[in-house]
Chain A
Amino acid sequence: MSDVNATSVRAIATKDFRDAVRSWTFWGLSLLFFLLVGLAAFAIGYFGNADTSTADFLGTVSQVTRLVVPLIALLLGWKSIAGERESGSIKVLLSLPHSRIDVVLGKYLGRATVLSLSLLIGFVIGAVVVAVMLSPPAIADYAGFIAMTILYGIAYLGIAIALSSITKSTTIAGAAMFGVFVLFYVVWNLLNFALQILMNQGYFSGVEVTQTMNGNEMQYERLPDWGLFVQTIDPGVAYANALSVIDAVEAPGFGTAFSAELFPSGVPFYLQNWFSFLILLVWIVVPTAIAIARFDRVDL
């Protein structure tokens, strides 16, 4: 129904940036993030030697970012719209000539900027620590890693803003944030086991594969392709997979790294690492689009 206006989006983003950047809760969590990145960098520096590569550094730091970035993003997006509806200030916003789409997009842009700022500060701290103790990380790889991490944060932020737009209550919105956290930190991890069990029970059949490990041939049944795909939907997994697109990040634990042996007829496109990058983009676009469609219709 409503349209998008660039001036409106910019005005809302500016206002929201100024507002969110002054939130102590946000900076409290950011500080924790700085500390963890700094510590990870310090550990690399302390235990590392001349052979320690950028890949090792990013491997460690990405463990931190994968867990902490969603927390920062969820907290940052939590009250973005529900808070304005609860306090009534959404009426101030929408008394001005903005459409509701402008509001959602402006909020997203404003808070994504705040989030990027926080992440950049953290990564500069990490880089300085490593540079002082060992050697500076490879610029191109580090930049790619930062960009991908920001994208990951923005994906979670999109989920948070979308959920924040569905309710007038910051309490309910908070519960929704917690729900997302539980979903991707607990439920999704269990899903793998659940699928495995269901497969073993014979509810669906997997794929018989032969893999050579330490010279021994092992035969077992792996999850079917769709079962593996389900795992890659988790933004955290998608992030880890997408990171392996960056040259330096080829350490174990990154990427789907499915060996060709598991896929005699080739790895399907949707299980390849570049597809995980698309999944991240889908997380950025789809929840926001759904939220806009719904938010555009409700009574405030």
Chain B
Amino acid sequence: MSAIAVDGLTKRYGNTVALEDLSFTVREGEVFGFLGPNGAGKSTTINVLLDFARPTDGEIRVFGKDVRAESREIRRRTGVLPEGVETYDRLTARQHLEFAIDSKDADDDPEHLLSRVGLEEAIDRKAGGYSKGMSQRLLLAMALVGEPDLLVLDEPSTGLDPNGAREMRDLVREENERGATVFFSSHIMEQVEAVCDRVGILRDGEMVAVDTVSGLQDSVTTGATLRVSVDRIDEGAVERVRSMPEVTSVDVEEGQTPAIVVATEGSKTAVIHEIEDAGCEVLDFSTDDTSLEEVFRAYTTDRREEVSA
């Protein structure tokens, strides 16, 4: 059974289409990165998932249950870190957690939860005096209450410094190892790259790609550049590389450390073998791999050639 199954989900606000026939699944036990620029419809999807907003058409099922009819049952098994929300100014972290623990009929220890998010020293301070990052940590601790089977984290790095963002990723891994499925939305690719098994890219309310991180990289790696340092430039070798079908361009750099610079849409190792077979000695090589950031931009901007060139 899939943890989350989105099927033909459409959401309109008046004439504005937020989501258009969106379908995808999140498998049980995986960390799924839900990626897209701001305004792509990520929050709308999560709002429907949690029954904060009602779909115009289509449905979402979580652990096989309908998010409209069986919302309470779903939320019993789900921990949520909502985006852009405030904590209760007049309540302490302990009171926030007691509320979540009572609500889920769980028996977690507020101190332990706060130590996991690095907020134990502020346990009896009112949240009104917290920084953005501290509030975010508190909300994350609330999401962990009751060992949820599904964690829904909406832009979890908001307000966190790089160190906090790394700790957050560690927590995601810990929770995933415990057995939780993690659904993680972000508009920042590198957050997702490090922890996600699979990534879905949302654009203008439609899913434009769902794949593993490496699968996504491959799909847009149309112009990877390979720089091969050789002992000498051999014209025969250059010709043999140039005649390879996937190779789009070959340049030669003369000088102290001669190199052959190859742009290929195909296998990089094949290029290296070709050069070696022609009798050159390969001293070193470097590749200019497509970063996931570029993949993201490739999928979310119209001028795709510019990115992949």
* Distance between Cα atoms of A249 and B178 in the complex (Å): 66
Interface string of B58-79 (1 = CB under 8 A from A): 0000000000100111011011
Residues of B within 8 A of A1 (CB): 68
A300 with B87: CB separation less than 8 A: no
Nearest-Cβ distance from residue A142 to partner chain B, whole angstroms: 33
| B82 interface residue (CB < 8 Å to A) | yes
B91 with A18: CB separation less than 8 A: yes
Residues of B within 8 A of A23 (CB): 90
Interface string of A1-34 (1 = CB under 8 A from B): 1110101101110110011001100000000000
Residue of A nearest to B99 (CB): A15
* Distance between Cα atoms of A96 and B102 in the complex (Å): 10
A18 with B104: CB separation less than 8 A: no
**Contacts between the two chains (Cβ within 8 Å), count:** 85
Q: Is the interface of B mostly helix, strand, loop or mixed?
A: mixed
Q: Within A85-107, which residues are at the interface with B (CB < 8 Å)?
A: 87-89, 91-92, 94-99
Residue of B nearest to A300 (CB): B52
| A51 interface residue (CB < 8 Å to B) | no
| B176 interface residue (CB < 8 Å to A) | no
A2 with B72: CB separation less than 8 A: yes
Nearest-Cβ distance from residue B148 to partner chain A, whole angstroms: 10
A92 with B105: CB separation less than 8 A: no
| A217 interface residue (CB < 8 Å to B) | no
* Distance between Cα atoms of A94 and B87 in the complex (Å): 13
Nearest-Cβ distance from residue A175 to partner chain B, whole angstroms: 22
* Distance between Cα atoms of A142 and B142 in the complex (Å): 45
How many chain A residues touch the partner (CB < 8 A)? 29
Residues of A within 8 A of B52 (CB): 91, 94, 299-300
Residues of A within 8 A of B103 (CB): 7-8, 11-12, 96-98
Q: A91-B82, A95-B80 are in contact. Are A15 and B72 (CB under 8 A)?
A: no
A88 with B72: CB separation less than 8 A: no
Residues of A within 8 A of B80 (CB): 91, 95
B95 with A87: CB separation less than 8 A: no
From the candidates A8, A15, A92, A297, name the one contacting B82 in the complex (CB within 8 A): A92
| B139 interface residue (CB < 8 Å to A) | yes
Nearest-Cβ distance from residue B105 to partner chain A, whole angstroms: 6
| B243 interface residue (CB < 8 Å to A) | no
* Distance between Cα atoms of A190 and B103 in the complex (Å): 47
* Distance between Cα atoms of A19 and B98 in the complex (Å): 13
| B114 interface residue (CB < 8 Å to A) | no
Interface string of A262-291 (1 = CB under 8 A from B): 000000000000000000000000000000
Residues of B within 8 A of A18 (CB): 90-91, 95
* Distance between Cα atoms of A291 and B153 in the complex (Å): 30
B90 with A97: CB separation less than 8 A: no
Residue of A nearest to B88 (CB): A19
| B47 interface residue (CB < 8 Å to A) | yes
| B208 interface residue (CB < 8 Å to A) | no
Residue of B nearest to A98 (CB): B103
* Distance between Cα atoms of A7 and B72 in the complex (Å): 13
From the candidates A3, A88, A297, A299, name the one contacting B86 in the complex (CB within 8 A): A88
Residue of B nearest to A88 (CB): B85
Nearest-Cβ distance from residue B147 to partner chain A, whole angstroms: 14
Nearest-Cβ distance from residue A279 to partner chain B, whole angstroms: 35
A7 with B105: CB separation less than 8 A: yes
| B232 interface residue (CB < 8 Å to A) | no
A299 with B72: CB separation less than 8 A: no
Report 10 cross-chain contacts, Cβ distance below 8 Å, ordered by A residue. A3-B72, A5-B72, A87-B85, A91-B52, A92-B82, A95-B79, A95-B143, A97-B76, A300-B47, A300-B53
Known pairs A88-B84, A91-B52, A99-B71; list 5 more (Cβ under 8 Å). A87-B86, A97-B72, A99-B72, A299-B52, A299-B54
